[in-house]
Structure 1
Amino acid sequence: MTGGTGGDGITPSDQPQRGYDIAKKALEEARAKARAEGKQVGRGRTGPVGAGRRLRKRGWTGSGADPWDPQPLGRLVGQVAKKRGWDDKVTTGRLFAEWGRIVGEDVASHATPERLEEGILHVRASSTAWATQLRLMSADILRKIAAAMGPGHVRRLKVEGPEKPSWRKGPLHVSGRGPRDTYG
């Protein structure tokens, strides 16, 4: 046997290379090219992703909040929603989801928000008495909404009573006044 070959006469450069070896060779070539261009090699990231300057001088972040700390998911979702123009839809969803907490459980059990259009919140009351009561309380309800959601989202409250019962049954309908003597 000779020094540079295996027992079968194949040199190491003739052997088939594994994926690891190919990647290692490519990395070494890239580092050599970077060194030749005068760049620092192997330093890694010096700050949070997207940070243009070095934020940490020590090996720990300290007790204060900084970009290295984990961020609450709600805050990150809010930032994404704002960037994509979904802020109003997210605010409307929060208003509808937290309706009971905002206006109180007693009011929420008799009033349901239906839609928010151009700053006007349409609310459906469970009875005509509750619709009247909600209209009288509208200024207070608007203050509570502004305190919870921020000013300017809901400018006006439109309270509607319960839907009228339909006397129309089946596919056929006779025009006219309909039943009048059923209420006494």
Structure 2
Amino acid sequence: MIRTGSYSSSMERKNRSFTQIKDVLAELFQSKGLGFHPDDARIWSDWERIVGDPVASHARPSWIQSGRLRVLVSDSVWLQELNYLERDMVERINAHLGRKAVKKIEFRMG
């Protein structure tokens, strides 16, 4: 069956602008003081691309809250090395996300 005629009411519904769920969640988290942006999950999914394979094979993100990112490190040698690289890593993460998501990285053995 072929329908002909006006679809204006359904077209109007389709043309309404929608808000992305990540923006709704970001506003909700911010209003509740949770300090987490849904886009922060890209830190986990893109970790190797952000920090490179050598670092990614010895360190992984654990949690983020209010701009503080905790990273678990495989051993004390890498813990010390990454403390020296913290500023560079913060800049790389923020550049990757396109916003200032991370202010400080806390490195821990784990």
Shorter-chain TM-score range: 0.7 to 0.9
Shift of residue 143 of structure 1?
0.9
For 1:95 and 1:128, the matched residues in 2 are separated by: 23
What does residue 142 of structure 1 align with?
A: 90
Indicate the SS of the match to 2:7: coil
What does residue 44 of structure 1 align with?
A: 7
1:1-184 equivalences in 2 (<5 Å): 42-45=5-8, 47=11, 49-51=13-15, 79-85=20-26, 88-162=36-110
CA radius of gyration, larger in: 1
* Greater relative contact order (Cα < 8 A, sep 6+): 2
Shift of residue 50 of structure 1?
4.9
Higher helix content, 1 or 2: 2
The superposition leaves residues 100-156 of structure 1 with CA deviations (integer Å, 9 ceiling, x where unpaired) of 111111100001111102110001111101000000001110111011012221110
Q: Which amino acid aligns with 1:79?
A: Q
For 1:84 and 1:151, the matched residues in 2 are separated by: 17
For 1:97 and 1:89, the matched residues in 2 are separated by: 14
Tell me the TM-score normalised to structure 2 length. Answer: 0.74
Higher strand content, 1 or 2: 2
**Runs (5+) with no aligned partner, structure 2:** 30-35
Indicate the SS of the match to 1:136: helix
Q: % of aligned pairs identical?
A: 26
Aligned length: 98
Question: Contact 2:22 / 2:39 at 8 angstroms: preserved in 1?
Answer: no
Tell me the TM-score normalised to structure 1 length. Answer: 0.46
For 1:93 and 1:49, the matched residues in 2 are separated by: 31
For 2:96 and 2:62, the matched residues in 1 are separated by: 18
